[in-house]
Amino acid sequence: MKHKLYSLLGLALGLMVQPVLAQQKVDYRLSFPNAVHHEAEIQITFSDIKSDTLKVLMPRTSPGRYAIHEFAKNVYNVRATDAEGKPLQIFRPRTNEWDVLGHNGTVTVNYTLFADHADGTYAGVDETHAHLNMPATLMYAETFKTSPAYVTFAIPHGKNWKVATQLKQQQGNTYFAPDFQYLMDSPTELSDFNFAEWTVQENDKTKTIQVALHHPGTPAQFQEYVAKTKKIVAEQRAVFGQLPDYDFDRYTFIGCYMPQAVGDGMEHRNSTILTSSRPLGAATNALLNTVSHEKFHAWNVERIRPNSLEPFNFQEANMSEALWLAEGFTSYYGDLTMARSGIFDIKKYAADLAGDLNYVLLSPGRQYHSLVEMSMQAPFVDAARSVDPVNRHNTFISYYTYGSMAGLALDLMLRQKYNKTLDDYLQALWRKYGQPEKPYTLTDLEETLAEVSGDRAWAGQFFRNSVQGSQLPDFTPLLAKAGFELRKAKPGEAMIAMEPLKYSEAGAELMSGTFVNSGAYKAGLDRTDVILTLDGQKIKREKDLQKVLSQHKPGDTIPVTFSRLGQTRSTTLVLDEVPTLEVVPYEAIGKQLTPEIQQFRQAWLGSKANGSATTN
């Protein structure tokens, strides 16, 4: 979340020069007397109010998310008093607004927050911790959005809780945010977490990287996690040549890997929140893959930021045409970093590429929306909740994965066509838009690609075809240059649908809608239909299906009987070929790794961090 950071020194000097003047500020106090039942008690004091009515709001969206979440649903027991403790009248014109009347310049608002969803978007409170995403936790007033905020955390008696946050520590358990935007962008974990830190020296500046991890694992597991996190940071630093200038010279990984946590990762300006119910011992490398993605966001989206997300709106959904780069390229580099750091080997990286390519290339969504238009679907899909069925398995491909594979294509094309890399492109975006924190447009992105490649016509064609359009290049020759074979995993094998089936004595039920490019869709089969027979054979188990399919080849037409809404129907179905792709390293299939291929692969997937940073 980008923001205009107020100078702490300037603020302090202002207070010294005008000690008798009232200072408009907000003071928050959070306590947890009923943590066992997931409640937090929150008190907010607004000082030096300028208007007759104080409009207090609960956010509806959260930094890094693009959909509406209605955080007010977990707020109750709202009351307000003046400076003397006198109760004040509250009028509630909207679901997330409380208007306080009759004050004398100071208002204290108290409320209870229910919090039982510890992830990157919501809040979770229990006897082990208080895991707080601020938009899900704190009310605010629009008229105080440029005012400093102070947050005091009351640690429950008998708890060894510490505070992990990107907020600036004032004293004790009181922390500071220069304005509303920074406050809302500052998730906080209160728990008895493990802690480690290291420093990086850059241009006479010391930058501190911290890891605060609430988890049930061993000290050895934590140390392994920290060591690999250091490798991730070093590799990503090498892409840009420097770490960002963190506002308080500090970046904090805030992790919660507890049984009650919900899997997530969420970027913030000087920190990231990382959650999972999976413990380190069972999933260290998978959890680190999220670390890699979120850390890359410190450059890409927090500072290299699309103009369409400025300013971030806490009351409406936030739509952007550039999430294919902001999220998609971050996903590409999240995985690439895992390979460059050696945490993932070549086989694992290739398998993950195959999974992403299968999703993007085999899904029919590209016939409905371009890469830009997929980005603009975010308010509907980014953890948004709905109860009515949607057709997104046909019409949508995640801008995370679609953008990641566009990044892969662009990286390999730049390397093979222009002796440039996607690293070069990101470095150029960093110099032009990230360091000066100047939001970019799609035109800016195309212009920068033209500058890096030296080929304006090609850059324009890529944006027309693959960004504004839905075309992707042939990945087979691109990957072959790096010694990977992209091929069908099961050529010549027949199938009826890619959708999951639920088997029972009644038959095989289609558990989701069919894909528009499948024989099952063309045959009229749909979600909840129960296949009774194929080619005259009853289908009660998977082996029944496989027996029928083994007797046929793709393109064969076979009779089908199925049940829909209690009625038995019949149709014919043209069998599809299993479309699944695989990416196989040459050395795994006995193909020669020539010196040229080895050199190309090393330049692409090899470490960039050796000797690039001085760490203590």
- Per the prediction, the chain carries an average pLDDT of 94
Q: pLDDT category, 561, cuts 50, 70, 90?
A: very high
pLDDT, position 5:
36
Residue 362 CA neighbour count, 13 Å, CB half: 19
pLDDT, position 170:
97
**In this prediction, what percent of the chain has a pLDDT beyond 90?**
94
Pairwise CA distance, residues 171 & 492, whole Å: 69
Q: pLDDT category, 384, cuts 50, 70, 90?
A: confident
pLDDT, position 16:
36
pLDDT, position 3:
37
What six digits make up the tokens of 197? 């830190």
pLDDT, position 153:
98
What six digits make up the tokens of 30? 């959070």
Strands (DSSP E) contained in 115-258 are 124-126, 129-132, 140-141, 149-153, 162-165, 168-171, 174-177, 188-191, 194-202, 205-214, 250-256
Pairwise CA distance, residues 90 & 268, whole Å: 33
For the segment 498-514, the average pLDDT, to the nearest whole number, is: 95
79 in the Ramachandran plot: left (φ > 0), alpha (ψ -120 to 50) or beta? beta
Strands (DSSP E) contained in 179-336 are 188-191, 194-202, 205-214, 250-256, 264-267, 271-275
Does 591 score more than 90 pLDDT?
yes
Q: What is the pLDDT of residues 530-559, one digit of tens each?
A: 999 999 999 999 999 999 999 999 999 999
Q: What is the pLDDT of residues 93-133, one digit of tens each?
A: 999 999 999 999 999 999 999 999 999 999 999 999 999 99
Pairwise CA distance, residues 475 & 363, whole Å: 16
User: Could you count the other beta carbons within 10 Å of the beta carbon of residue 498?
Assistant: 19
Q: Which amino acid, one-letter code, is at 476?
A: T
Q: What is the pLDDT of residues 24-77, one digit of tens each?
A: 999 999 999 999 999 999 999 999 999 999 999 999 999 999 999 999 999 999
Q: What is the pLDDT of residues 452-501, one digit of tens each?
A: 999 999 999 999 999 999 999 999 999 999 999 999 999 999 999 888 99
Residue burial 47-61, b: 16+ Cβ < 10 Å; e: rest: bebeeeebbbbbbbb
pLDDT, position 569:
98
Closest residue by Cα to residue 331 from 403, 429, 275, 242:
403
Closest residue by Cα to residue 552 from 538, 568, 573, 571:
573
Pairwise CA distance, residues 407 & 4, whole Å: 30
For the segment 132-148, the average pLDDT, to the nearest whole number, is: 97
For the segment 150-179, the average pLDDT, to the nearest whole number, is: 98
User: Could you count the other beta carbons within 10 Å of the beta carbon of residue 172?
Assistant: 10
pLDDT, position 209:
98
For the segment 501-509, the average pLDDT, to the nearest whole number, is: 97
For the segment 376-388, the average pLDDT, to the nearest whole number, is: 92
Pairwise CA distance, residues 486 & 479, whole Å: 7
This prediction's pTM? 0.94
pLDDT, position 1:
42
**In this prediction, what percent of the chain has a pLDDT beyond 70?**
95
For the segment 220-231, the average pLDDT, to the nearest whole number, is: 98
Asked if residue 364 has a cis previous peptide bond (ω within 30° of 0), the answer is no
Does 281 score more than 60 pLDDT?
yes
Pairwise CA distance, residues 187 & 123, whole Å: 9
Q: What is the pLDDT of residues 204-213, one digit of tens each?
A: 999 999 999 9
pLDDT, position 15:
37
Q: pLDDT category, 418, cuts 50, 70, 90?
A: very high
pLDDT, position 148:
98
